[in-house]
Amino acid sequence: MWFLPLITVGTLLQKIRSMAEHSGGPGVTPGWEEWTYAWRVGWLGRFFIWPYHINLHLQHHRTASIPWHALPSAVRAEEQLMASRSLASLMWSRLRQKY
């Protein structure tokens, strides 16, 4: 029975994660820098969906040589940008673009 939650809830969480990482933000134009996104995430999101600082996807693409455990310190330089981003704002802007 463990596989039922894996194929339902697990698949849903992976789709949300994939969309959040590669859907860009409000008013973006095509291009990897614009379409790759980074946002703040709480402990619950980090535990269930984004371990290893995957929420810092933009910084990961910009500087792939930085290991996952050092990404938070690399992001501190962009604190103002990160303060304005959340998963909820990303999802809302994406829904407005589609519908």
Q: What is the pLDDT of residues 38-89, one digit of tens each?
A: 777 788 878 877 788 877 877 877 788 888 888 888 777 676 666 666 667 7
Nearest to 36 by CA among 16, 19, 48: 19
- Report d(CA 80, CA 38) in Å as an integer: 12
How many other CB atoms are found less than 10 A from the CB of residue 40? 14
- pLDDT: is 21 or 51 the higher one? 51
SS3 60: helix
- pLDDT: is 7 or 24 the higher one? 7
pLDDT of residue 33: 62
Q: Where are the domains of the chain?
A: 33-99
